[in-house]
Structure 1
Amino acid sequence: MKPFCCALLWALASFVTSGVASAGALRVVPVTLDLAAPAATGAITLRNEGTQPANVQIRVFRWMQGADGQDALQPTTDVVASPPAATLAPGASYVVRVVRAGGPASGGEESYRLLIDELPTAGRVQPGRISLLVRQSIPVFFSGLEVSAPQLQWQVSAGRSGVTVTATNGGSRRQKIADMSLATASGQLLADRKGLAGYVLGGSSRSWSFPAARNVKPGTAVVLNAASDNNRIRVQATVQAAK
């Protein structure tokens, strides 16, 4: 599976942890769409809080996790955003509908990402400077009637570049992970990752690297702590050799 996204996308996505996402003058509410059958349509509201008009492009991608344990986006026509583009005057709000084209989901949980790009306008372009897009990434979930709770299995492996932690989700519903830390069995902190670490999608695996723990050897007993949607995670594991 070839990833469609770049590191910038996920860096921007990582700060979306509250009920409102803000990048520059553009605000988005809500920051997650979670639609359970029979619902097949949701909506987000964009608001331009700046003093210049904002040109916005909205696209939807299927969100998957590959064999390498990393996030990947693929083009899709299964879910569409309407309208796909808009110009917001200063202080204006705009509602974007997100529609699953085939109606309600019938199986487990489907995961998508809504990419909202604020495009440079003529008034913001300055000679001799590079104008960058401002991008926000909103998770969108459609679930059917047979969604099973997340069931995570954890593995810790060590290689030359440090420790890799992998979570495999045996359920069909995603699990959000945040505030990860890795410590020895005696409590010595080896490495940590503050804030939102990402999601483990249903039936998928997600991996995180901890370069700061590069001195950890296979066979070491470690304790992984993290926060999830509704509880704390504490896992005791023995470090395996990286394959």
Structure 2
Amino acid sequence: MPPPRNAARRASPPSRSEHARAPPFRFPAIGATLALVALSAAAALAQTARRIAIAPVLSQIDADSAQTVVWFYNHSHAPWQAEARLYRWQQHDNQDLLEPASDVALSPRLIDIPAGGRQLLRLRLGPVPASRENAYRLVVEERATPGDTALLRYSAPVFVQPERPATTPPLAARLAGDDARPVLLIHNAGNRHARIADLTFFDAQGRHHPIADSLAGYVLAGQSRQWRLLGVADAFRDGHFVARIDSQPERRLDLGD
């Protein structure tokens, strides 16, 4: 049986940094922490992106903490202005859903950083989740000024831990879809997110076939994500998948029913 072909890479590469309307935003599940919205020249946008930095790129807030902070750094020679919004992040049918968050306060919402300067953004929490982690996306959109040819849009994950978060999320993997178009479905039965990177399939002969290099995506607490596999389903039954979960070394993901 021929080995499966390598899966295509994600359209949005991972990077150091990723208004509201109803119904909530729906788009294919994302893993990148920086989304760049090009209004014209992509080269100009990439140049601007290198001059703006965010730290941390992922915020994880303990249950006993009341707030967290995010720093923005402007390494350019011109002022930088943006607007910050926070969205509740959920997953359904392999899509990320973003809805305006009402339980976390942002201050300030309007960001104005002089050339070579920095600015602090505070996130103040509401009630601590009792049993399951709350997930959010901090979205910061550059404000247009005369002469702009490209605008930045940062989207950074924010996680508020429950009182007793699991050390390692329990993950279950199985094949789904049909025989001709299989997908790998990973379910997270834990109470905190799983960050999945370097997702790879090893066939029965020990040959590896990358599914998603670097950051493959997040599986939120109690949710499922899936990845398209190039090949027929039978090609993936005699083998196993591996991935790096959070900051841990590679972990084997055996297929269940």
Q: Give TM-score scaled by structure 1 length.
A: 0.80
Q: Which residue of 2 aligns with 1:142?
A: 160
Asked if 1:72 is matched to 2:97, the reply is: yes
Structure showing greater relative contact order (alpha-carbon pairs closer than 8 Å, 6 or more residues apart):
2
Kindly report which structure 2 residues correspond to 1:209-224, keeping only aligned pairs within 5 A, or say none. 209-210=228-229, 213-217=230-234, 220-224=237-241
Q: Which residue of 2 aligns with 1:50?
A: 76
3-state DSSP of counterpart to 2:30? helix
Do the aligned partners of residues 216 and 106 (structure 1) sit closer, same or farther apart at CA in structure 2, a change above 3 Å counting? closer
Q: Which runs of at least 4 in structure 1 moved beyond 4 Å after TM superposition?
A: none
Q: Which residue of 1 aligns with 2:11?
A: none
Q: Which residue of 1 aligns with 2:211?
A: 192
3-state DSSP of counterpart to 1:177? strand
Alpha carbons 2:173, 2:253 under 8 Å: kept: yes
2:112 alignment partner, one of 76, 87, 93: 87
3-state DSSP of counterpart to 2:99? strand
Alpha carbons 1:108, 1:148 under 8 Å: kept: no
Do the aligned partners of residues 14 and 214 (structure 1) sit closer, same or farther apart at CA in structure 2, a change above 3 Å counting? farther
Query: Deviations for 1:60-89, whole angstroms, at most 9, x for unmatched residues?
Result: 0011111x1332212221112111112211
Alpha carbons 2:196, 2:219 under 8 Å: kept: yes
Unaligned runs of 5+ in 2: 1-21, 36-47
User: Shift of the alpha carbon at 1:45?
Assistant: 0.6
Separation (CA, whole Å) in 2 of partners of 1:23 and 1:159: 41
Name the structure with the higher strand share.
1
Give the counterpart letter for 1:56 in structure 2.
A
Q: Which residue of 2 aligns with 1:19?
A: none
Give the counterpart letter for 2:142 in structure 1.
E
Alpha carbons 2:175, 2:255 under 8 Å: kept: yes
User: Shift of the alpha carbon at 1:49?
Assistant: 0.8
Separation (CA, whole Å) in 2 of partners of 1:60 and 1:223: 38
Q: Which residue of 2 aligns with 1:174?
A: 193
Asked if 1:236 is matched to 2:254, the reply is: yes
1:202 alignment partner, one of 221, 227, 239: 221
Q: Which residue of 2 aligns with 1:164?
A: 183
3-state DSSP of counterpart to 1:139? strand
Alpha carbons 1:14, 1:198 under 8 Å: kept: no
Do the aligned partners of residues 57 and 14 (structure 1) sit closer, same or farther apart at CA in structure 2, a change above 3 Å counting? closer
Unaligned runs of 5+ in 1: 16-21, 126-130
Q: Give TM-score scaled by structure 2 length.
A: 0.76
Do the aligned partners of residues 146 and 200 (structure 1) sit closer, same or farther apart at CA in structure 2, a change above 3 Å counting? same
Do the aligned partners of residues 201 and 158 (structure 1) sit closer, same or farther apart at CA in structure 2, a change above 3 Å counting? same
Separation (CA, whole Å) in 2 of partners of 1:171 and 1:3: 25
Residue-pair matches, total: 222
Alpha carbons 2:198, 2:210 under 8 Å: kept: no
User: Shift of the alpha carbon at 1:233?
Assistant: 1.6
Alpha carbons 2:34, 2:153 under 8 Å: kept: no
3-state DSSP of counterpart to 1:237? coil
Alpha carbons 2:180, 2:232 under 8 Å: kept: no
Asked if 1:118 is matched to 2:142, the reply is: yes
Query: Deviations for 1:121-155, whole angstroms, at most 9, x for unmatched residues?
Result: 22x42xxxxx4431121111112313234110111
Do the aligned partners of residues 35 and 168 (structure 1) sit closer, same or farther apart at CA in structure 2, a change above 3 Å counting? same
